[in-house]
């Protein structure tokens, strides 16, 4: 199958952006599958994520968190266009990249990802997400600015991860996740709104949303709400997948990513 894909498809360059508390490592199955089909793949660590050397306390804005993706996009040759893929919170990172580098993106793929837009601001998106959020169980917050101020970091707890993030993924991937996760810096709504002002530049980029049917973190009704509020060019759905689609249904995601890249190249 891989050799067939290599013959049929011209080489695409996929840029994979991870979600909250995760890193480039979370894409390891997709990286292997796409490379086996002959494609070029870049899986990035955002700041203070994965093996990025920054520490979570160093980050002062969400723009600093996204800096590695912006640096990468700036480094691309002027004539190269990539397939941007964002998972979960990575949807915000690729949204900023779409706004700043629309000419370098052939298509943006939101994999059960946060999907703001010119008509759906980050404040409304966050409020709706919080309204639908269930108990966070053993997940941890830190309060580096004191207990009377908003929390500064968040980390998924092992129990929460097993029940709501990785519940359909192999147990080995859950174990990997709990070993490699790093705290997520929490930013103010004001900061996020300032750095995620999206315009017709963002809107000029083709967008596809991939629904994860049994996602318990970003539930299907929330995914459908985002799609309704900020309609993409196409919607795909993967069944039998949890929030970690790339862990629970990697081959289905791989097939979708190749078909999307082919259609919008």
Name which of 62, 247, 216 is nearest 136 in CA terms: 216
Q: Give the helix/strand (H/E) hosting 176.
A: helix 171-180
Q: Is 194 exposed, middle or buried (0-12, 13-18, 19+ CB in 10 A)?
A: middle
Which long-range CB contacts under 8 A does 70-75 form with residues at least 24 apart? 70/96, 70/97, 70/100, 72/15, 72/42, 72/44, 73/97, 73/100, 73/101, 73/104, 74/101
Do 104 and 82 contact (CB within 8 A), yes or no? yes
- Tell me if residue 143 falls in helix, strand or coil: coil
248 Cβ contact list (under 8 Å, min separation 6)? 166, 168, 169, 170, 240, 241, 242
Report how far residue 186's alpha carbon sits from residue 136's, in angstroms, rounded to the nearest whole number: 15
Report how far residue 91's alpha carbon sits from residue 126's, in angstroms, rounded to the nearest whole number: 13
List the catalytic residues.
Answer: 88, 215, 243
């Amino acid at each position: 199958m891989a050799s067939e894909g290599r013959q049929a498809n011209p080489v695409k360059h996929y840029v994979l952006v991870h979600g909250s508390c995760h890193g480039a490592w979370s894409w390891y199955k997709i990286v292997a599958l796409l490379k086996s089909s002959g494609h070029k793949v870049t899986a990035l660590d955002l700041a203070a994520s994965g093996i990025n050397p920054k520490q979570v306390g160093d980050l002062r804005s969400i723009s600093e968190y996204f800096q590695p993706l912006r640096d990468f996009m700036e480094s691309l040759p002027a004539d190269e266009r990539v397939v941007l893929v964002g998972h979960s919170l990575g949807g915000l990172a690729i949204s900023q990249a779409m706004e700043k580098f629309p000419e370098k993106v052939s298509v943006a793929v939101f994999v059960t990802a946060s999907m703001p837009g010119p008509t759906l601001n980050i404040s409304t998106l966050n409020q709706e997400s919080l309204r639908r959020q269930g108990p966070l169980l053993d997940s941890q917050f830190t309060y580096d600015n004191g207990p009377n101020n908003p929390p500064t970091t968040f980390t998924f707890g092992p129990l929460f991860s097993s029940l709501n993030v990785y519940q359909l993924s192999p147990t080995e991937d859950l174990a990997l996740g709990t070993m490699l996760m790093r705290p997520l810096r929490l930013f103010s709504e004001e900061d996020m709104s300032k750095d995620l002002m999206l315009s017709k530049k963002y809107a000029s980029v083709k967008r596809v949303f991939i629904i994860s049917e049994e996602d318990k973190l970003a539930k299907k009704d929330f995914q459908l709400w985002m799609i309704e509020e900020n309609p993409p060019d196409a919607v795909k759905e993967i069944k039998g997948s949890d929030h970690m689609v790339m862990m629970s249904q990697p081959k289905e995601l791989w097939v979708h990513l190749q078909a999307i890249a082919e259609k919008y190249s």
